[in-house]
Amino acid sequence: MRAHTLRLLAQPTAAAERGRFLLVTGSIAVAGGLLLVGQRVARLYMDTDGASSTYSYGGLAPSYGGLAPYVTQAGLRPGVVIGAVLVTVPVLALALQALRVGSLARERRMASLRLAGATARDVRTVAAAEAGVAAAAGGLLAGPAYLLCWLMLGVLMPAGLRLVPTPGPLDLLAWAATLLVAAAAGAIAGAVVQKRVVAEPLSVRRRIGPQPPGRANVVGLVAGLLLVVFGFGQLTEAPGGGEYLLLVVVLVGLLLVAFTIGPRLVRRLGGRLQLRESAVDVLVGARLHVDPQTAGRVAAVLVVCGLALGVEALMVSDLLGRDIGNGDDLSFYLTGFGMAAVGVLLVVVVAVLTLLIGAADQLLDARRPLASLVALGVDEQILEKVLRRQQSAAAAPAVVLGVLVGAAGAAYLSGDGALAVGLLPTLLVAAVAGGAVGLVTRLAAVLLRPRLRAATDPENLRVA
């Protein structure tokens, strides 16, 4: 296929395709900007020679360039870097989900290509070009996104609370690397996603049958468990500075475990729901059992959010129960916990958006079965109830599980009866977080009503 032809075919034409392109581009831009923030904070030691600048322990007094002590302190800086990197995880999951979103126009275009003589490899090449261009555009916009983060978190913030240092010349190299990696990763992801779609000359049939986790899932799960066990086992005995490396090992292990076990748990949940007497539960269980990937990824992100909330709940309750000195010390700790909580809230918002995009794609796949149900007399309100229940079925338990596991892990590392002191606050946070996520996902499902009505149109009975 010639480059000119490939460029023409990869251009988004319909409104839905342009929206998909913008969503992928925006997600990659945000993720790239956050990664640039992380690398800039990590390079701060080059400006301060590894010193802690003018910060005196226990206060929030302005320090190097008005930066917060969480950034200038060599012992606290890795936590900020890790936090910035972790926030990119749900954003990248959103970008991946956006790549999986189909549209009627895109289906017809892919089918037309096959009818015109294009091979399956040609179709995957077009998909890779589409995703690669969108990701490259996102990588290009990562620089402005980074400057926006610097403006919001480094310029407009008051002195002593600024989190992003002034950009430097090395950021240009990091930006260029981000652009190249984004373009390559986007092209690979687009080709892999298109592999899961069987493009036929007269239609597009998606493989939506039950997809049990394969060997790669098992390998990832075992590797994640080994990393978590090893990291926790060595964390309490690590020498000075080594605990941060072990903390990274534990976090990588937790992410592997969460993203590999998430689809397994969602699929099992779907199987259990199908055994209930309620028709709503049976339909919800069938959808979760058929396609557990989207809900599993979102559940993994929410488990990570719950881990952060659980750790915070235990540490704040333990902090308030101790005599830590003057009010500056308390302000120092509570400000840090507050910033972390805001980051978790943003991650939850991105996770809910990912869940909605996945549900919209599922409605596109299931438009013929949904139209059949309506034709057989099923009320559309029942299907709306199924949609709301489907969004919250795995999300709320995931964040509750994360809170409990996070609090238990923090108590193990803290010792000194920390779990006994923070048990009630942890349970309260788990209940509030689970209820809030469940409510938000149910309310957000209202946005999918137009998609549901379009999917139940009788015309969809003729869809292959």
Q: Are strands 197-200 and 203-206 parallel, antiparallel or unpaired?
A: antiparallel
Q: What is the pLDDT of residues 173-226, one digit of tens each?
A: 999 999 999 999 999 988 887 766 655 665 555 544 445 667 778 888 899 899
For residue 50, is pLDDT > 50? no
Residues 355 and 458: their CA atoms lie apart, in Å, by 26
Q: Give all strands (DSSP E) within 56-127, no chain letters.
A: none
Q: What is the pLDDT of residues 217-266, one digit of tens each?
A: 888 889 989 988 888 777 666 655 567 777 788 888 888 888 888 888 88
Position 158 confidence tier, pLDDT thresholds 50, 70, 90: confident
* Residue closest to 123 by CA, chosen among 16, 9, 12, 14: 9
Residues 412 and 208: their CA atoms lie apart, in Å, by 42
For residue 55, is pLDDT > 60? no
Residues 15 and 274: their CA atoms lie apart, in Å, by 37
What's the mean pLDDT when you consider all of the chain? Answer: 80
pLDDT at 126: 85
Q: Give yes or no for a contact between 413 and 238, defined as CB atoms under 8 angstroms apart.
A: no
CA 249 to chain centre: 19
| pLDDT, mean of residues 78-98 | 85
Query: Percentage of the chain surpassing pLDDT 70?
Result: 82
Position 7 confidence tier, pLDDT thresholds 50, 70, 90: confident
Q: Give yes or no for a contact between 105 and 16, defined as CB atoms under 8 angstroms apart.
A: yes
Q: What is the pLDDT of residues 310-369, one digit of tens each?
A: 888 887 877 776 665 555 567 777 788 888 888 888 888 888 888 888 888 778 777 888
pLDDT at 77: 82
Query: Percentage of the chain surpassing pLDDT 90?
Result: 13
Residues 7 and 22: their CA atoms lie apart, in Å, by 17
Range in 89-103, 229-243, 274-288 with the lowest mean pLDDT? 229-243
Choice between 438 and 45, residue whose per-residue pLDDT is larger = 438
Residues 367 and 370: their CA atoms lie apart, in Å, by 5
Q: Where are the domains positioned within the chain? A: 1-207, 224-464
For residue 72, is pLDDT > 80? yes
